[in-house]
Amino acid sequence: MSKTKIDRRNFLKVLGLGTAGAAMAGCDMPSYVTSEEGAEKIYSYLAPEEYMIPGIGVWYASTCQQCPASCGVHGRVREGRVLKLEGNPDTTVNAGKICQMGQASIQAHFHPERLQNPTINGKDATWDEALALVKEKTGNAAWVTGTVSGHQRVLMDAHRQASGNGRHYAIEAVNARAWEDASATLLGDSNPNLHIDKARAVLTIGADFLGTWGNPVKSMRDYGNFRNAPRGVLMAIEPAMSMTGANADTWVAARPGSEAAVVLGIGHVLITKHGVSAAGMPSAAAAFAAMTPARVLELSGVSTAQLTKIADTLMSNSPSLILANASHAAAKAAQVLNLMLGNVGQTLTPSTALAANGLAPLTGSSKDLVEFAMDANAGKIGAAFITGTNPSFLAPKGLDMAAALSKIGFKVAIADFADETTKSCDVVLPMSSPLEAWGTHVPVNGGASGDIHIQQPLMENVYANTRGFGDILLSVGQGAGVEGLGAFEDYYGYLRTAVSALIGSDMEGDWNKALQAGKVTAATIPMAFKAGEDVALGFSEPAAAGTLSLVTSARQGLYDGRHANLPWMQEAPDQISKAVWDSWAEMHPATAAKLGVKDGDYVSINTANGAISTRVFTYKGMHPDAVNVPMGRGHTDYGTYATNGVNPLTIMDASPGDRQTTELLSSNLAVQVSPTGENRHLVRLMDVDSQHGRKLVATITADQFDRNQGGA
- Name which of 163 and 565 has its Cβ closer to other proteins: 565
Least CB distance to other proteins at residue 358 (A): 31
* Rounded-to-integer distance, Cα 113 and Cα 124, Å: 16
- Name which of 309 and 407 has its Cβ closer to other proteins: 309
Binding mask 449-488 for other proteins (x = CB under 8 A): -------------x--------------------------
Q: Is residue 251 a contact partner of residue 245, using CB atoms and an 8 Å limit?
A: yes
Which are the contacts of 29, defined by CB distance < 8 A and separation ≥ 6? 20, 23
Q: Find, among 496, 442, 487, 490, the residue nearest to 467 by Cα.
A: 490
Q: Does 96 bind other proteins (CB under 8 A)?
A: yes
The interface with other proteins within residues 382-401 (CB under 8 A) comprises none
Q: Is residue 389 a contact partner of residue 471, using CB atoms and an 8 Å limit?
A: no
- Name which of 96 and 538 has its Cβ closer to other proteins: 96
The alpha carbon dihedral of 421, 422, 424, 428 has a sign of positive
Least CB distance to other proteins at residue 64 (A): 12
The interface with other proteins within residues 631-660 (CB under 8 A) comprises 644
Which backbone phi and psi does 643 adopt, to 5 degrees?
A: -95, -20
Binding mask 546-585 for other proteins (x = CB under 8 A): ----------xx---------xxxxxxx-xx-x-xxx---
Task: Indicate the pairing of strand 451-455 with strand 439-441.
Answer: antiparallel
14, 15, 18, 118: which one binds other proteins (CB under 8 A): 18
Q: Which alpha helices (H) appear in 111-204, and where do they start and end? A: 127-137, 150-162, 177-187
How many amino acids of this chain bind other proteins (CB under 8 A)?
Answer: 112
Least CB distance to other proteins at residue 437 (A): 17
Q: Does 220 bind other proteins (CB under 8 A)?
A: yes
Least CB distance to other proteins at residue 12 (A): 11
39, 84, 162, 639: which one binds other proteins (CB under 8 A): 84
Please report how many Cα atoms fall inside a 13 Å half-sphere around the Cα of residue 33, on the Cβ side: 14
Q: Does 305 bind other proteins (CB under 8 A)?
A: no
- Name which of 103 and 478 has its Cβ closer to other proteins: 103
User: How many Cβ atoms are within 10 Å of 48's Cβ, its own excluded?
Assistant: 16
3, 44, 47, 112: which one binds other proteins (CB under 8 A): 112
The interface with other proteins within residues 53-82 (CB under 8 A) comprises 55, 78-79, 81-82
The interface with other proteins within residues 29-48 (CB under 8 A) comprises 30-33
Q: Is residue 575 a contact partner of residue 216, using CB atoms and an 8 Å limit?
A: no
15, 61, 98, 296: which one binds other proteins (CB under 8 A): 98
Least CB distance to other proteins at residue 291 (A): 21
132, 590, 593, 608: which one binds other proteins (CB under 8 A): 590
192, 211, 457, 518: which one binds other proteins (CB under 8 A): 211
SS3 194: strand
The interface with other proteins within residues 249-278 (CB under 8 A) comprises 249-253
Instruction: Tell me the three-class secondary structure of 394-447, residue by residue.
Output: HCCHHHCHHHHHHCCCEEEEEECECCCCHHHCCEEEEECCHHHCCEEECCCCCC
What separation in angstroms does the CA of 11 have from each of 7, 233, 460? 6, 56, 11
Q: Is residue 632 a contact partner of residue 554, using CB atoms and an 8 Å limit?
A: yes
Q: Does 111 bind other proteins (CB under 8 A)?
A: yes
17, 67, 85, 482: which one binds other proteins (CB under 8 A): 85
Q: Does 103 bind other proteins (CB under 8 A)?
A: yes
* Rounded-to-integer distance, Cα 66 and Cα 64, Å: 6
Least CB distance to other proteins at residue 91 (A): 13
DSSP conformational letter for 249: S
Q: Does 618 bind other proteins (CB under 8 A)?
A: no
- Name which of 247 and 292 has its Cβ closer to other proteins: 247
